[in-house]
């Protein structure tokens, strides 16, 4: 992986959306490090598959809910590959349950991975961006952070919090050449959505989407690629919906 290119980190980088983002950024000339959950046994195969496709990624394990572990992995990446120019905070989980049945552990774990990770990962990389006078942070939220969803009080709260974080950082760092934006996808054709029973998908979810289909991860990746480009430098503090018209704020 070339040290001459701008370096992009993507959390949740080996998942469906993360892979699409990593691939697009690599195609656009970034050096890419995909961050993944510790203990992910398929990372070696994943890297080999991407290399066969022409993308020489690096990959590092990190617990995005742990501040010290995030600081550790960023320092390691900085030592190996150089300063970080782009951060895509994409890692996220669901632990769905109706509010009456939701446990405190389910609440805490979703907030830890989906929202605490925003602080944990952005804090150690922001100094690189300040030193360079250029940086891009893209935080992946969700349509359900905008509209809520039955059984997702934890997930919707975490994803709504993402944009408050975005807006505050955009104000703080706009004059330093750093942009911070939120992207809020709707239902995408990823492994997470493919776990939804087909009957529920056809009877409940697709009828809510005016476009009549699931989104493709590559469509979201193209939007992220624009935001992290030089040409996207005047977009700052925005929450960009990409949901097929399912929710219009």
Active site residues: 155
* Residue listed under structure tokens 């009957």: 199
Between 43-52 and 16-27, two packed helices, what is the crossing angle to 10 degrees? Answer: 40
CA distances, 16 to each of 19, 20, 73, 80, 93 (Å): 5, 6, 22, 26, 13
**Structural element, H or E, at residue 184:** strand 178-185
DSSP secondary structure letter of residue 138: E
CA dihedral 230, 162, 195, 34 (to 10 degrees): 50
**Residue 146 · residue 249 · CB < 8 Å:** yes
CA distances, 148 to each of 59, 133, 170 (Å): 33, 37, 24
Closest CA to 30 of 179, 104, 135, 142: 135
């Amino acid at each position: 992986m070339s040290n001459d290119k701008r370096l992009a980190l993507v959390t949740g980088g080996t998942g469906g959306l993360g892979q699409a983002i990593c691939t697009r950024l690599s195609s656009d000339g970034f050096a890419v490090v995909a961050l993944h959950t510790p203990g992910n046994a398929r990372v070696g195969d994943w890297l080999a598959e991407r290399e066969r496709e022409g993308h020489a990624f690096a990959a590092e394990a990190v617990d995005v809910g742990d501040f010290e572990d995030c600081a550790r992995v960023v320092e390691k990446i900085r030592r190996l590959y150089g300063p970080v120019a782009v951060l895509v905070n994409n890692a996220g989980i669901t632990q769905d349950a109706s509010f009456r049945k939701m446990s405190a552990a389910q609440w805490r774990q979703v907030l830890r991975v989906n929202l605490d990770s925003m602080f944990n990962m952005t804090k150690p990389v922001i100094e690189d961006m300040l030193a360079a006078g250029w940086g891009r942070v893209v935080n992946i939220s969700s349509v359900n952070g905008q509209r809520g969803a039955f059984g997702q009080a934890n997930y919707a709260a975490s994803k709504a919090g993402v944009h408050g974080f975005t807006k505050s950082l955009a104000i703080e760092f706009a004059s330093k050449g750093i942009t911070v934006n939120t992207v809020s996808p709707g239902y995408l054709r990823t492994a997470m959505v493919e776990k939804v029973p087909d009957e529920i998908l056809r009877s409940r979810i697709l009828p809510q989407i005016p476009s009549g289909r699931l989104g493709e991860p590559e469509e979201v990746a193209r939007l992220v690629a624009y935001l992290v480009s030089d040409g996207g430098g005047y977009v700052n503090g925005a929450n960009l919906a990409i949901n097929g018209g399912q929710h219009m704020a």
